[in-house]
Amino acid sequence: MIITNFKRASVFTVMAFVALAGMSSCGSKEKEDKDDKDSVAVIPVFSLKKDVLPSVLKIPGELTPYQQVDLYAKVSSFVKKVYVDVGSEVKQGQLLISMEAPEINSQLAEAKSRIKTQEAVLTASQANFDRLYQTSKTPGTISGNDIDQAKARKNSDEAQLEAAKSAYQAVQANLAYLEIRAPFDGVVSARNTNPGAYVGPTGKGSDQPLLVLQQQKKLRLVVSVPEAYSGILKEKNEVNFTVQSMPGHKFTAHVNRMAGSLDSKLRSERLEMDVINNDKILLPGMYAEVTMNLAPADSAFVIPKTALVMSTEKIFVIRVTNNKAEWVDVRKGREADGKVEVYGNLKTGDQMIISANDEIRDGEPVKKK
């Protein structure tokens, strides 16, 4: 009897353990389901909208003379006197260098003598023609052929006289080349000659310019703007710039000239600004730090830089659609102040992940926050 009761107790014990195991199994399954539900990432998002992204472009520039010319000798000669030196301010038409060439004076005298000779020859041929012409008025005295030959000789002598005068003017023009004058108001920035030096259009005397003249009271500020910004800039846009020698001094200029094309090597557009420099505190050759405020004419989708993913394969943003992550390929525009323009298959109101990265896989379930 005791054995029977023990058996019954064992059966009840086993059944109790089975029931407890089943309850434990159900609880574990419910917990796993709850853990799976809780494992969906909760990610902050923002609503996409269009905006205008004003930005500041900082690029290096260079100050160059508004005008600059290298002055050379036109004819072979010797430097007689140099009237200016480096740093001299000159006016347009001012005599800078005088030179001498004795052979030119000889050529001029020879050309002048040739004119006198041709004038005498023409006088004689003219008199001969006039005499024959007057005589021919008496019938039978002078043949027509003689008159024609006299006239042809007179015309030839007239042509020779004109040629002699032209040769004289050419030599006389060479005398004018013995004086070098300033083509515009400016400052002599380089001098490479001294009195007595042999100079000319060829040979050792032409290795370097005699003088370099720069217009410094008006300068050009030259910058090369990257292709991404070339379509935004316009003439008369205001720019600010500083130079290293005066870091606390800010200068202002306006865009005066745009190249209208891109440099084939740098892929940039050349811009020039006129800078008035009457006090000459700015010098040609200075490098400038140029600041340009840019504002596009049209709005674009603007997102935080953290929302843009730039992987080795593509550039994309992550949009949340039906609680799933969706990679959307985009093109990057300008950026400023932690924001960036993007262009792609997007529309206003799209829910975008703020802190996007390629660990959030395309199609992965997410929960918006």
One domain for residues 239 and 321: no
Number of compact structural domains in the chain: 3
* Buried b / exposed e along 292-312 (16+ C-beta atoms within 10 A): bebebeeebbbbeeebbbeee
Other residues' Cβ atoms within 10 Å of the Cβ of residue 314: 11
Whether the CB-CB separation of 301 and 50 falls below 8 Å is answered with: yes
Q: Which of 255, 273, 294 is the last residue of a domain?
A: 294
d(CA 94, CA 88): 12
What is the domain range of residue 138? Answer: 68-181
Q: Distances in Å between the alpha carbon of 297 and those of 149, 174, 229, 258, 294?
A: 83, 59, 12, 18, 10
One domain for residues 254 and 334: no
Averaged pLDDT, 115-134? 87
Whether the CB-CB separation of 205 and 198 falls below 8 Å is answered with: yes
Q: Which of 265, 294, 323 is the last residue of a domain?
A: 294
> In the predicted model, is pLDDT for residue 232 greater than 90?
no
Whether the CB-CB separation of 50 and 302 falls below 8 Å is answered with: yes
One domain for residues 128 and 225: no
* 355 domain residue, yes or no: yes
- State residue 213's pLDDT score: 96
One domain for residues 88 and 156: yes
One domain for residues 290 and 356: no
> In the predicted model, is pLDDT for residue 28 greater than 60?
no
Render pLDDT for 78-119 as a digit per residue (tens, 0 to 9). Answer: 999 999 999 999 999 999 999 998 888 788 888 888 899 988
* 29 domain residue, yes or no: no
One domain for residues 286 and 306: no
Both tokens of 195, joined, read 């009195």
One domain for residues 339 and 357: yes
Task: Report the CATH number that the domain containing residue 245 is assigned in CATH.
Answer: 2.40.30.170
d(CA 68, CA 65): 6
Among 62-66, 202-206, 322-326, name the one with the lowest average pLDDT: 202-206
One domain for residues 277 and 308: no
Render pLDDT for 319-342 as a digit per residue (tens, 0 to 9). Answer: 999 989 999 999 988 777 788 889
Whether the CB-CB separation of 216 and 280 falls below 8 Å is answered with: yes
238: closest CA among 290, 292, 275, 296? Answer: 292
